[in-house]
Homo-oligomer: A and B are copies of this chain.
Amino acid sequence: MKKPLILICNDDGIEADGIKALTKEIRKFADVFVAAPHTQQSAVGHSITMANPIRVRKTLMFRDFYGYAVEGTPADSVKIAVHTLLKGKKIDLVISGINQGANTAINIIYSGTVSAATEGTILGLPSIAVSLTSYTYTDFSAAAKFASKLAKIVLKNGLPKGTLLNVNVPAVKKVKGAKVTMQGKSNWDDNYEIRLDPANRQYFWLTGSMNKMDKTTDFDVKAVDEGIISVTPIHYDLTDYKFYEKMKNWKL
């Protein structure tokens, strides 16, 4: 049987440990093509590069495996892989990750990892974003194994047009299974530290902690806090239909 072709991307850059761990695991059953930003691109949101040209460089990722380093954003990487590097080939799935740091609740909208998977979805491909919920915990094995399992399920079941899966794997030794969740309502209690540079000029640095508002494991934030892998189906249809119905009465 022909192996599926899976495009892998991320936002931590092609040299990150997370994308290497994911690539190694997925290669066990699929042909893998990697196109990822050449450098770290966290919190870029769904940026694309329009005003500038983009260069692409073939780069050794490990042993004899080469990926493509894209001088652009996560979404650029997916777009350029689909339109040019893999042109004419049938891509069966896009996986973005494994990101270091949670992409739950409001973080989803700032996430380059999710944006790469969103771009896959926009281009008509089933797509999954995978994050490990810690910046310091570096054991990607549970996340890579679950990504592999979910990839097989999605390859079999498919996903609705316009829908992608956002996966968050708790950074713990033993995860307590996986659950389909909703995007949490938690937000950031953020602020700026005001500092002075050596010439006594002010600069600002973003700081803050998450305001946890989600009480049940039906929401991504709480699920990962309880050691459960969270899988949230998300889409990019942003219309607020409920308010749309009410607002139709406004006199504009």
Contact = CB atoms under 8 A, between A and B. Distances in A.
Interface of A: 40, 42-51, 53-56, 75-76, 79-80, 83-84, 106, 108-110, 115, 118, 122, 149-150, 153, 157, 159-160, 162-163, 177-180, 182-183, 187-188, 190-192, 194-195, 201-206, 229, 231-244, 247-248, 250, 252
A201 B55 CA distance: 9
A180 B244 contact: yes
Contacts of A45: 44-48, 75, 115
B252 A177 contact: yes
Contacts of A80: 192, 204
B53 A180 contact: no
A155 B73 CA distance: 37
8 contacts: A44-B47, A53-B203, A53-B204, A56-B204, A80-B192, A84-B191, A106-B236, A234-B239
A44 B43 CA distance: 10
Q: 8 closest pairs, A vs B, by CB? A: A45-B45, A45-B46, A178-B252, A234-B238, A53-B203, A235-B240, A45-B47, A233-B240
A241 to B, nearest CB: 7
Max chain B Cβ within 10 angstroms of own Cβ: one of A43, A54, A115, A160:
A43
A180 B118 contact: no
B43 A48 contact: yes
Given A50-B206, A53-B195, A192-B83, A252 B229 contact: yes
Given A153-B250, A235-B238, A46 B109 contact: yes
Given A194-B84, A238-B234, A118 B109 contact: yes
A83 B191 contact: yes
A202 B55 contact: yes
A178 to B, nearest CB: 4
A203 B122 contact: no
